[in-house]
Structures are given as structure tokens and as C-alpha cells.
Amino acid sequence: MAFALSNMQLESAAFPAGGAIPAKYTGEGDDISPPLSWRDAPEGTKGFAVICHDPDAPLVQHGSYGFVHWVLYNIPASTSSLEEATAVGTRGKNDFGKHGYGGPMPPEGHGLHQYYFWVLAMDKPTDDLPEGLSLHDLLVRVEPHLIGMNRLVGTYQRG
């Protein structure tokens, strides 16, 4: 996969970079996606995707690296923010086996986990992608069109 880190900035009104994700956005709370906003998308951006991934999760759980909490794509280029519990975009399949967002819920006693929220900018609209793509399937399809990306990291520890 190409790595296209860019000047694009991703933030949330719900938590600061490196800060604790409020329980409301976790599996122990309302389990809704947090608000996100971004700026400075690369010139030529035609669409976005958003991903939330926990690299601190046990590696053997799904035969892949970490745990995918959110895959969202087909986000129009005119979009620069998502409200909490957003209905924008097309929902992909998370590692809970469901479509849409599944909030942080690390195993009991597993300590503090980091959650990487990524925004990806593409030079081609992705409105032809069907619902339910896994993270891997999404990345295979959008990687040739990836022109920028950046992340916001939040933390959560199960109470």
C-alpha cells in the first residue's frame, strides 16, 4: 500500500490528539462515532474515507494486525467534517462483524489502548463502492487513488 502522509489535519471536538476518548464513543457507552473534522486536503481530492483501528489489540484475534473499529467510505469531496453518529458515507465491515462504527472496548485488564482515526483523500470518487467492504478490501480498491492521509490518535482503557 502507498503511504501518502500529507499536510491534511484531522481533529475531534470530543477529544484532543493523544487524549482520552470519552466513554460515550466506546462500547461501554453509547457506542456512537465521535465528531471528526479535517482541513488542508490535497489539491485534486475527489473523495474521502475514514478508518478507526486499534493496533494494541491482540494480533491473533482475526489473523490480521490489530482490530478494525470503523470503515467508512464514499464520503464526498465537499465534506470536511462528520457529526457524531454520522449517517454520511457508506459503512464498511468492522472486526465486530458489523457494518459501521464499533467503539473502543479493549479486553478487560489489557491496559490503555491507542485508537488511530485515519482520514484518506483520493483523487477519484468512491461512490461506486458497495456497503460492507472490509478494511483490506477498501484499501486494495482505493490505494491507487490515495493522494493524502493523516491520523488522530485517541486513547481508551476499559473501566
Per-residue pLDDT band for 126 (boundaries 50, 70, 90) equals confident
**DSSP class of 41:** P
pTM for the whole thing?
0.92
Task: Please report, for the chain, the start and end positions of each structural domain, with discontinuous segments joined by +.
Answer: 9-156
21-55: b (≥16 Cβ within 10 Å) or e:
bebebbbeeebbbbbbbbeebbeebebbbbbbbbe
CATH annotation of 9-156: 3.90.280.10
Q: What pLDDT does 1 receive?
A: 40
Q: pLDDT tens for residues 55-110?
A: 888 665 555 678 999 999 999 999 999 999 999 999 999 999 999 999 999 888 88
Q: In the predicted model, what is the mean pLDDT of residues 8-14?
A: 96
Q: pLDDT tens for residues 18-66?
A: 999 999 999 999 999 999 999 999 999 999 999 999 988 866 555 567 8
